A and B are shown apart, each in its own frame.
Chain A
């Protein structure tokens, strides 16, 4: 049991880091955030700051992968705060807020930067079964995210986000063996509010709309991962799939649009190390790559962060 307790503080971070893989900055942060199966213990607050980059130099125009000299390489820099608090051993709340800066190496388009979307989520473990071999747990997550600045979603791929307000629901199953191996599966459904543009009309999905309001389609995602945690080290691999349940393709030589059908498959990994000194600190490194997609960039992403855990309730 001690082993489980030691793991609590940091495993939450994993998917949040991966979640910052922007496609066309499309990934709803919460859809991939709360996908693992470990709870933070009661009275503990884990909080950290992260920095990361994501780059792509080819993207899928519909299903056609291409480069574009007027974009060159799209580089996104991300600075993020996040925190997780254990209200009880079975109920955690999580918050995150990224600042994003996007830049293209080619062409003339202006950089975009700003505070992106604040996410607040609650995670509840509704089932646990311990056995001699390990522990099975099942969780549900409800989350809410909304833009924290008036950034435009209508300047993709430079826009820092899609500016919708999202509600997501997720279910996660985890099995962790006593020896430290674990497998995890999670699936989420994200409802996205419509967004408004600065212009009075737009053309997308072969239809001309005489309005500034854009229909945003829901997003379905799932991920599976497997890894090993022992003592001060953690390592795992993840496969993630995101599908937008509607929207059109980017037309030949057109710009991407906020409600395109953005789909992505990616693989990634996490390495984490818990410091002995100073106590309660941890560092982690994550990386991931899009391996297939539609109307998104073939991006490669890494993030590094440092975390600290406060203990508000004396444990053990």
Chain B
């Protein structure tokens, strides 16, 4: 009887431990069947390139050509031998290349979003682009770095998709599954011309940019890009010559953007000791308490010259996409209350109230939006939100690319404008003003005014509301919640949050003005 009981107990334990607790890590995507093909996307307004035909694509061979026919034969051969791994690769990419690359980028940002660890002497090493595998890894994909990365990939993809559409409808070569009845369509069939292959264009433009932004991830990036082209081939969507023309076009367009990135001001955005001291001296000269790092040991400020246009007479600052230097300065929020003022004390007291009353409900909001180290950052969070709308709208690759481009242009410009504001005013965090303020998440290592989360969220909500007007209220509510999460967490004053939201809206208006006249409609 004892033995029986032991057996029963063991059985229960074994059964329970066999329950499937595995968590799937991919955002699952249904196979893309675009609601419309956007045949005229080759006429939509370009952002950085002079025209969709700026990079030449040679005419394809006619479908009757023996060399093309042999490409079709090889597709049939491949389709007859597809193994389960290859089928799962087809399924993965059938969800849409633009959405998949956005997911991949979010993952890369999360992986590389770790600040360097301090050395024994209390100093911090600087990630080195020439030695990206060393500790600390290059890059440290913090919010400004991430905003810039999302924007480069998104804008380059969007320009590349418009170029692809331009040539597709210029040459009008159908997809293999349309040309040859013997070729199966293993993805939803469309009438989109196949030359050059949009999948190959995306693989080339995305992989080249990602390799320059995240050089230590070269292996997985290269593998993903190759799989995307293979999926297009195996699924009967593109022939070998459609792919090679697409890959070449994508890579050439990527080169235009990596050239821009090499001289966009990022290299000097970290600054040096003398320049950091100037920021402190300037604040003191204005009669204000200068910001101090609250990291231990004290850490140099995060990318102080990402936004500022000049320091000590030296021009600095990362280029925006839709804003000029004058726009950035003109749109800068008015100053926060002086650090010694009673008004500022009221702001501090309110933060202290929330610190002392950190309810579970508010902590959940703080953590929902924390998006700190080791995450895809606030720009990534808004990309995550946008991805669901793109998926549900069943947008074509070119229109999906447009959404991410417009969103990430606004997010990058928000990063530039917000960082300009932060380092222009160099305002201390609440805990610096009152050390009794304990925080529900880590204190970001840059000045307080205005809130980055709020600026990013204000800009994102504005762009997404323009693109998906029926959900405007939802975007606005989410932005407000993201903004207030920083007050609840004890890391921002209310004035930082409110000002950031307004500033973000203003920044986005430059992007929305462009979008209103880009020929794409909504």
Mutual binders A and B: yes
With known contacts A200-B368, A211-B24, A253-B115, A106–B296 Cβ distance under 8 A = yes
A208 in contact with B106 (CB, 8 Å):
yes
How distant is B7 from chain A, measured CB to nearest CB, in Å? 11
B107 in contact with A203 (CB, 8 Å):
yes
* Cβ contacts B8-35/A at 8 Å (1 or 0 each): 0110110011000111111100000000
Cβ contacts under 8 Å, A206 to chain B: 111
How distant is B65 from chain A, measured CB to nearest CB, in Å? 44
Query: Is A194 on the interface with B (CB-CB < 8 A)?
Result: yes
A255 in contact with B373 (CB, 8 Å):
yes
How distant is B395 from chain A, measured CB to nearest CB, in Å? 19
With known contacts A169-B9, A198-B363, A110–B2 Cβ distance under 8 A = no
B110 in contact with A203 (CB, 8 Å):
yes
* Cβ contacts A123-161/B at 8 Å (1 or 0 each): 010110000000000001010000000111011000000
B295 in contact with A70 (CB, 8 Å):
yes
How distant is B11 from chain A, measured CB to nearest CB, in Å? 10
A208 in contact with B110 (CB, 8 Å):
yes
Cβ contacts under 8 Å, A203 to chain B: 107, 110-111, 374-376
Most chain A Cβ neighbours within 10 Å, of B17, B116, B431: B17
Query: Is A280 on the interface with B (CB-CB < 8 A)?
Result: no
Stretch at the interface among A48-56, A76-84, A214-222: A214-222
Query: Is A191 on the interface with B (CB-CB < 8 A)?
Result: yes
B439 in contact with A108 (CB, 8 Å):
yes
Chain A interface size range: 35 or more
Query: Is A202 on the interface with B (CB-CB < 8 A)?
Result: yes
With known contacts A150-B360, A152-B363, A169-B13, A202–B21 Cβ distance under 8 A = no
A108 in contact with B114 (CB, 8 Å):
no
A255 in contact with B374 (CB, 8 Å):
yes
A110 in contact with B114 (CB, 8 Å):
no
Cβ contacts under 8 Å, A154 to chain B: 367
Query: Is B358 on the interface with A (CB-CB < 8 A)?
Result: yes
Cβ contacts under 8 Å, A106 to chain B: 296
B384 in contact with A210 (CB, 8 Å):
yes
A126 in contact with B296 (CB, 8 Å):
no
B23 in contact with A142 (CB, 8 Å):
no
How distant is B156 from chain A, measured CB to nearest CB, in Å? 22
* Bound-complex Cα distance A194 to B23 (A): 9
- Tell me which of B16, B376, B438 contacts A201 (CB under 8 A): B376
Q: Is the interface of A mostly helix, strand, loop or mixed?
A: loop
Cβ contacts under 8 Å, A124 to chain B: 5
Query: Is A193 on the interface with B (CB-CB < 8 A)?
Result: yes
Query: Is B443 on the interface with A (CB-CB < 8 A)?
Result: yes
How distant is A85 from chain B, measured CB to nearest CB, in Å? 20
The closest CB in chain A to the CB of B22 belongs to A215
Query: Is B440 on the interface with A (CB-CB < 8 A)?
Result: yes
Q: Number of B interface residues, CB 8 Å? A: 56
With known contacts A110-B440, A169-B9, A251–B374 Cβ distance under 8 A = yes
With known contacts A110-B440, A198-B368, A252-B114, A216–B21 Cβ distance under 8 A = yes
Cβ contacts under 8 Å, A198 to chain B: 363-365, 367-368
Query: Is A279 on the interface with B (CB-CB < 8 A)?
Result: no
Query: Is B442 on the interface with A (CB-CB < 8 A)?
Result: yes
How distant is A203 from chain B, measured CB to nearest CB, in Å? 4
The closest CB in chain A to the CB of B358 belongs to A110
Query: Is A197 on the interface with B (CB-CB < 8 A)?
Result: yes
A107 in contact with B5 (CB, 8 Å):
no
* Bound-complex Cα distance A200 to B382 (A): 12
* Bound-complex Cα distance A111 to B356 (A): 10
A111 in contact with B438 (CB, 8 Å):
yes
Query: Is B196 on the interface with A (CB-CB < 8 A)?
Result: no
With known contacts A208-B107, A213-B23, A202–B375 Cβ distance under 8 A = yes
Cβ contacts under 8 Å, A208 to chain B: 25, 103, 106-107, 110-111, 376
How distant is B162 from chain A, measured CB to nearest CB, in Å? 28
Cβ contacts under 8 Å, A107 to chain B: 296
* Bound-complex Cα distance A66 to B135 (A): 15
The closest CB in chain A to the CB of B116 belongs to A253
How distant is B27 from chain A, measured CB to nearest CB, in Å? 4
* Bound-complex Cα distance A206 to B108 (A): 10
The closest CB in chain B to the CB of A210 belongs to B27
A237-282 at interface with B (beta carbon < 8 Å):
251-255
A167 in contact with B13 (CB, 8 Å):
yes
Cβ contacts under 8 Å, A199 to chain B: 367-371, 375
The closest CB in chain A to the CB of B104 belongs to A208
B384 in contact with A126 (CB, 8 Å):
no
How distant is A215 from chain B, measured CB to nearest CB, in Å? 5
* Bound-complex Cα distance A126 to B368 (A): 49
- Tell me which of B23, B107, B365 contacts A214 (CB under 8 A): B23
Cβ contacts under 8 Å, B136 to chain A: 252-253
The closest CB in chain A to the CB of B294 belongs to A108
* Bound-complex Cα distance A206 to B137 (A): 14
B25 in contact with A254 (CB, 8 Å):
no
Query: Is A24 on the interface with B (CB-CB < 8 A)?
Result: no
How distant is A41 from chain B, measured CB to nearest CB, in Å? 20
Query: Is A209 on the interface with B (CB-CB < 8 A)?
Result: yes
* Bound-complex Cα distance A201 to B19 (A): 23
How distant is B183 from chain A, measured CB to nearest CB, in Å? 34
Query: Is B297 on the interface with A (CB-CB < 8 A)?
Result: yes
* Cβ contacts A173-206/B at 8 Å (1 or 0 each): 0000000000000000101011001111111001
- Tell me which of A66, A201, A202, A254 contacts B114 (CB under 8 A): A254
The closest CB in chain A to the CB of B380 belongs to A201
Query: Is A69 on the interface with B (CB-CB < 8 A)?
Result: yes
Query: Is A230 on the interface with B (CB-CB < 8 A)?
Result: no
How distant is B379 from chain A, measured CB to nearest CB, in Å? 13
* Bound-complex Cα distance A211 to B438 (A): 28
B17 in contact with A218 (CB, 8 Å):
yes
Query: Is A291 on the interface with B (CB-CB < 8 A)?
Result: no
How distant is B432 from chain A, measured CB to nearest CB, in Å? 10
Most chain B Cβ neighbours within 10 Å, of A126, A191, A193, A194: A191
Cβ contacts under 8 Å, A209 to chain B: 23, 25
The closest CB in chain A to the CB of B489 belongs to A110
B296-311 at interface with A (beta carbon < 8 Å):
296-297
* Cβ contacts B131-163/A at 8 Å (1 or 0 each): 000011000000000000000000000000000
Query: Is A109 on the interface with B (CB-CB < 8 A)?
Result: yes
How distant is B218 from chain A, measured CB to nearest CB, in Å? 16
Query: Is B355 on the interface with A (CB-CB < 8 A)?
Result: yes
Query: Is B490 on the interface with A (CB-CB < 8 A)?
Result: yes
What are 16 A-B contacts with C-beta separation under 8 Å? A109-B442, A152-B363, A169-B10, A193-B21, A197-B367, A199-B375, A203-B375, A206-B111, A207-B25, A208-B107, A208-B110, A210-B26, A210-B27, A215-B21, A218-B17, A253-B117
Residues of chain A at the chain B interface (Cβ within 8 Å): 66, 69-70, 106-111, 124, 126-127, 140, 142, 150-152, 154-155, 167, 169, 189, 191, 193-194, 197-203, 206-211, 213-216, 218, 251-255
State the 4 A-B residue pairs at the shortest beta-carbon distance, nearest first: A69-B296, A208-B107, A203-B110, A198-B367
